[in-house]
Structure 1
Amino acid sequence: MFYLIYFAIIMIIPLYAQSKVRSAYSKYSQVYSTSGMTGAEVARKILDENGLYNVAVEETPGHLSDHYDPTAKTVRLSTDNYYGHSVAGTAVAAHEVGHAIQDAKDYNFMRVRHSLVPVANFGSNMSWVFVLIGIFAQMSNLLLLGIVLMAAGVLFQLVTLPVEFDASKRAMQQIEALGIVSTDEYGQARKVLNAAALTYVAAAAVAVFELLRLVLIYTGMQRSDD
């Protein structure tokens, strides 16, 4: 039963999440905001209204490559969202500014996630080396080391969830309070951000179940050794 659930989670849920994001973004990127503001203008307005004059807004190449860089104090928006006037672009821009607001307010989970980045990167890069050697060579100690390293990546995925949810919450509060969207557009923007949040939930679920699968393999090896 576990493996049926496992395969459903690692295969079906991520595909479903990605399809929801593509569908929501594609739909509402064709709906133009009545404010007439570009994503860049939305980001700048929210930043200025929150006193974050030192945070820059820049264009970045790629599709849905939008992000906030806490080191450079910069909100980077993909070309479509930077110059576009769509509801989807408004939602994405506001979400990234939500991260800038978190940074300015020293939001706990964001600080924890940032501190986990080097550990999670190392764990993600090296964990499978030890896992594969441990499984094929039947060396449980190496497998355990791989599991511990992978756990760092799983922790990062889990901490990411409240960070992303909170950024979306802040985004929705800002675009409503500042009158950037109409009542109908507010609901549409929420759909875009909810769909995006689902991808983080899917990634966390996959990471957790992958870790559990390896733990089961490890316990099986331990029983064999006994």
Structure 2
Amino acid sequence: MINPYGFYGGLNIEYFFLLLAIGLSMVAQFKVQSTFNRYLKQRSLSGLTGFETARRILDRNGLYNVQIEMVGGKLSDHYDPRSKVLRLSRDVYSGNSVASIGVAAHEVGHAIQHAEAYAPLKIRNAIVPVVNFGSKSVFLLIMAGIVLQMSSLISLGVLAFMGIVIFQLVTLPVEFDASSRAIKNLKNGIITAEEESSVKKVLGAAAMTYVTAALVSIAQLVRLMGLSRRD
């Protein structure tokens, strides 16, 4: 029989699931890197670069005011809703591979979400301050609660971490929807049916990193809640 607070000679079962989630997250990170690198070598038949693809889709959706910039790093692509700027990494901005145009189109999907006031995106943006607070203070609160033997501080830390979990969960529909919008726009004269499969593999691998990140956060929350109950 498994003890609810122990597993295989004292290994806490909550800790076991946290390690499992972290392992899955590492696999997902490796998968997205390897998939991106693989399809970075497959030139798109349209010959369009990530920049050209993004500009075409933005203009098609009436988002002429959204600017596109190149940024450093690899897979550092993102859309900044505050300045309405689409930032693409060098491989995506200048590349004309199916990976490049897929990632660029995905980020444009976020710009379209912002323009349409997509509800999950609004919710995610609204809880960013809570997430910022939680990421900086949650473990300080919990450690202080343990050292000072104040359960109220531990509970406050757990509550702050709940905000991070909610953020991760809300991120999932935002990311999946952005990929769906990307495929829809790319199919409109930018990629062929054969290339669609490759783009979906790139975006699918990227989506799994968000799924595993959510699993890690949930596992951490369960671990912290167990700690607060046993304190």
CA–CA distance in 2 between the matches of 1:159 and 1:95? Answer: 17
Q: CA deviation at 1:118?
A: 1.3
Secondary structure in 1 matching 2:174: helix
Confirm whether residue 165 of structure 1 aligns to residue 176 of structure 2.
yes
Q: Which has the higher helix share?
A: 1
Q: Which amino acid aligns with 2:216?
A: V
Tell me which of 175, 197, 222 is aligned to 1:212.
Answer: 222
Note if contact 2:168-2:217 (Cα within 8 Å) is conserved in structure 1: yes
CA–CA distance in 1 between the matches of 2:37 and 2:193? Answer: 20
Instruction: Structure 1: state its 5+ residue gaps.
Output: 222-226
Could you say which residue in structure 2 is the equivalent of 1:7?
Answer: 19
CA–CA distance in 1 between the matches of 2:15 and 2:81? Answer: 39
Q: Which amino acid aligns with 2:195?
A: E
Q: CA deviation at 1:155?
A: 1.0
Confirm whether residue 94 of structure 1 aligns to residue 105 of structure 2.
yes
Secondary structure in 1 matching 2:47: coil
Deviation by residue 1:171-220 (Cα, 9 ceiling, x = unmatched): 011101x2211111100000000000000111111011101111011111
Tell me which of 170, 194, 202 is aligned to 1:184.
Answer: 194
Q: CA deviation at 1:119?
A: 1.4
Secondary structure in 2 matching 1:37: coil
Deviation by residue 1:3-47 (Cα, 9 ceiling, x = unmatched): 32222112x111110011011101000100000000000000001
Q: CA deviation at 1:153?
A: 1.2
Q: Which amino acid aligns with 2:18?
A: Y
CA–CA distance in 1 between the matches of 2:150 and 2:75? Answer: 42
Deviation by residue 1:52-95 (Cα, 9 ceiling, x = unmatched): 11111111111111000101111110011101101100100000
Deviation by residue 1:94-129 (Cα, 9 ceiling, x = unmatched): 000000000111000001111111111111101110
CA–CA distance in 2 between the matches of 1:16 and 1:62? Answer: 21
CA–CA distance in 2 between the matches of 1:74 and 1:97? Answer: 10
Q: Which amino acid aligns with 2:210?
A: Y
Q: Which amino acid aligns with 2:39?
A: Y
Could you say which residue in structure 2 is the equivalent of 1:224?
Answer: none
Could you say which residue in structure 2 is the equivalent of 1:113?
Answer: 124
CA–CA distance in 2 between the matches of 1:71 and 1:77? Answer: 16
CA–CA distance in 2 between the matches of 1:88 and 1:209? Answer: 32
- The normalised TM-score by structure 2 is 0.92
- Over aligned residue pairs, what C-alpha RMSD do you find? 1.0
Note if contact 2:35-2:205 (Cα within 8 Å) is conserved in structure 1: yes
Q: Give the total of aligned pairs.
A: 219
Could you say which residue in structure 2 is the equivalent of 1:140?
Answer: 151
Moved more, 206-215 or 136-145: 136-145
Could you say which residue in structure 1 is the equivalent of 2:211?
Answer: 201
Q: Which amino acid aligns with 1:50?
A: N
Could you say which residue in structure 2 is the equivalent of 1:60?
Answer: 71
Could you say which residue in structure 1 is the equivalent of 2:5?
Answer: none
